Amino acid sequence: MAFLLKVIGFSDSIPGFPYTLSGGSTTAVTPTLTWTMCPGVGKEDGRAVTIFSISLSKADSGVKELARHAMKRAKSLLLPGLLRCYGAAEHQETVYIAMEPCEPLRTVLQQSSSAQDGEDGDEEEAFLESVALGLKAVGAALTALHHNNFVHGNVSSDSIFVIAGGEWRLFGFELLSTFNEPHSVYQRHCLLLPEGRRPPETLQTNYEASRHISNIDSWGLACLIYEVLGGPIGRARSLMQVNWKANDMRGCRSLPRTLQSGFIGLCAANPKMRHDVERFLKTSEFIVGSEFVKCMQALDELSLKDTVERERFFEHLTEVVDMFPKRACMCLVLPKLQASFKFGILPAVIEPVLKIAANITAPEHYAAYVAPIIIKLFASQDRVVQYRMLQRASEYASMLPATVVNEELWPFFASGFSSPVPSIREYSVRALVAFANSLSEKIMLTDIPRFISQLQQDTEGAIRTNATISLCLMADKIPTADRSSILVYGFGRMLKDPFVPCRLGALRSFRTCLAHLTPQHIAELMLPGVGPRAVDDVREVRQEALDVLREAIGRLDEYSTQASSQEAKAGVAAASNEAPVTNKKQTSSWWGWGRGATTTTTTSSDAKCEAASEEGGESAFACEGESNGASKCLAVSHLPTSSAAAKAMPTTVASATESGFSDDDAWGTNDDEISFKVPTSESSGTMEKSTNRHFDTNNITQPATSGHAMKLRKKGLGAARLQ
């Protein structure tokens, strides 16, 4: 870059030229001058420009005169249709001109031709519309020059540049002269132009420059049309080469039909019969009948129209906007539509805006041209505008940048939840689904649950239903950590709604989002809420509730299976790390009170006793001393080992029904504590109660039947209550 700056003279700052380069360079070759074009920016305001430069250090006197003349005219002329100049200077034998950002017409058309090879009829029509608008802009610039007694003298495809919006602008001021100027720049240097671009009268030796001088530009405009559209259909955008003759141009028959008559008038050999540019603009059907040209003119005159006329124009624009060039729609139509908002936003403007936006796929272009318009439309106080924007949210929401949605759009969007218009409230909650991908985590966790809860209490049943459905459709966008709780409470509160679609919506939402709910929420919150709907008055609700319950139970069953598998793996891993320990009491016990058994205390302080049963099958007590002087006794019943006892033992445990208890009987939780005195020799057969109860040890040695023991436990009676 430093070498490039040095080559074109930018190694040092230029006095009176506050612009710097910001990119690579291209070359614009013309028959008169060869310009180097570089993008640049202003040092003070950061304005984007295109810097035209030409080195004069090795140039002849003619080139120096033309370059300095072009710089002079660019600085002094400010007319519509001309390429706008922001500043110019000459420094160290180099001329610098800062113009508005642009590209040569040749480059733009060649790029368009290669990118749209094999295009359809609609694209070709859009191209012709852009040419019509370009010819109108160039013709308006020439007309303004003529009204100010100037003749351009160098109109061709080489002197046309295209700005950002796709509009054509006229440059190439090196031959620009005034009327009746003796020995003008044009007269002295017109020989530099190719023969085909020079009017026939200028080729004569006795040519009088003072007569019909404005018709020189008419011939130049005909040259421009021929170079852009005069080639064969397959080469329509490749531009004709400069080595063509005047007879070739006058004999061209491949132009559009609506352009034929006007073109013939521009290239008449007799200057007296040649049409001037202003007449061509007024009579050419190619320009006058162009929908694109008429719509662009109407957009410029919107301030002069009343509300009815503007509404009618927007409706017409919606019908024809698909035929317009896409680049021009983005860069020209959208800004003009946005500018019309200062006269009031009409609902009809939404349709053409969204039609144009649908053809914009680049995110940076969408953010630059469409997003500002969307924000202004949402900020409108017109309820019809708000309603239509919410209704069409799915068409543009995914293309808006997330920062724009969260910082600029959301405050206006959220106001729709509290709108007094039911349709706006309804479509506000519907549009949430389209914007869910762009909403921040903070909004999803705080604002969304609050607004959903608010709308679930709305007076309109349809709004309550849609609020639940909207939450269901946004389920996967809610942060995982809080997703289950937000969903289970959001759906659960609608299960008792009197509006049948609300209950159905809640049940179907539960069924759809079952995978997002935790097993704990399913078991503790969802099932108790869904269960009563299985006996709902409406058959469809009952059926849906039963389907939800089946799937929920299946989900819990899967969870239980997985948990059991994990526990088994954990047990195997723990067992492999520990030595096996054999406990005779645990292995020999078939059924007893070992877990949750009645606790008994003794009056012995440090006694630690255990009465083990012998092989005869007697019952046993296990007593372990406590530090407080009491001992807890564990009563365990063992199976008798004798064959007779084995035959007398029941093979199964009696069920609750057989034992005389139903499922409604309560289970005891607080068993009584029984205290024992340590047995002495004086009372070897019995034990006295330490408080006010008597315990007969003879009864304990005989095990109770399994059914009787279960009955006692279900009634809240412990083993110590056996008499």
Greater confidence (598 vs 388) lies with: 388
pLDDT score of 683: 41
DSSP assignment of 620-632, as one string?
Answer: EEEEEE-TTS-EE
User: Given this model, what pLDDT does residue 576 score?
Assistant: 66
pLDDT of residue 234: 37
- pLDDT of 661 > 80? The answer is no
Helix or strand or coil: residue 99? strand
**pLDDT at residue 252, rounded to an integer:** 84
- Please state the three-class secondary structure of 134-147 as a single string: HHHHHHHHHHHHHH
CA-to-CA dists, residue 352 to 289, 319, 424, 434, angstroms: 21, 8, 22, 21
**Residue 569 pLDDT class (50, 70, 90 cuts):** confident
> To 5 degrees, how large is the angle CA 120–CA 129–CA 100?
115
391's enclosing H/E stretch is helix 383-391
Task: Give the CA radius of gyration of the chain.
Answer: 47
Of the pLDDT bands very low, low, confident and very high (cuts 50, 70, 90), residue 25 is confident
Q: What is the pLDDT of residues 251-287, one digit of tens each?
A: 888 899 999 999 999 998 888 889 999 999 999 999 9
For the CA atoms of 315, 317, 318, 322, what is the dihedral angle to 10 degrees? 160
DSSP sequence for 155-171: -SGGGEEEETTS-EEE-
pLDDT the model gives residue 659: 34
Answer yes or no: CATH 3.30.2130.10 is held by domain 118-169+190-289.
no
Tell me: pLDDT of 633 over 70: no
Fold of 440-570: Leucine-rich Repeat Variant (1.25.10)
Question: Residue 250's pLDDT band (boundaries 50, 70, 90)?
Answer: confident
pLDDT, residue 353, reads 96
- Every domain of the chain and the residues it spans: 2-100, 118-169+190-289, 440-570, 592-721
Which tokens is 372 given? 């500002």
Q: How far apart are CA 183 and CA 329, in angstroms?
A: 45
Q: Choose the weakest-confidence range: 37-51, 364-378, 472-486, 668-682.
A: 668-682
What number is the average pLDDT over the span 127-150?
A: 94
Q: Is the pLDDT of residue 635 over 50?
A: no
The H or E element spanning position 29 is strand 26-29
Tokens found for residue 413: 């969007």
DSSP three-state, residue 304: helix
Over residues 190-225, the pLDDT tens digits come to 888 988 888 888 877 666 655 557 789 999 999 999
Query: And the tokens for 189?
Result: 């240097």
Q: What percent of the chain has pLDDT over 90?
A: 57
Of 326-340, 386-400, 708-722, least confident by mean pLDDT is 708-722
Chain mean pLDDT for the chain: 79
pTM strictly above 0.85? no
3-state helix, strand, coil in the chain (%, to 5): 55, 10, 35
Single out the residue of 310, 306, 359, 360 nearest to residue 336, CA to CA.
Answer: 310
Are the folds of 2-100 and 118-169+190-289 the same? no
For residues 693 and 374, give the distance between their C-alpha atoms in angstroms, rounded to a whole number.
Answer: 87
Give the right CATH number for 2-100 from 3.10.110.10, 3.40.50.1860, 3.30.200.20, 3.40.50.1100: 3.30.200.20
Percentage above 70 pLDDT, the chain:
73
Dihedral sign for Cα atoms in the order 463, 467, 469, 470: positive
How sure is the predictor about 179, in pLDDT bands with cuts at 50, 70 and 90? confident
Contacts of 610 (CB under 8 A, 6+ apart): 620, 621, 622, 623, 624
Question: Is residue 694 scored above 90 in pLDDT?
Answer: no
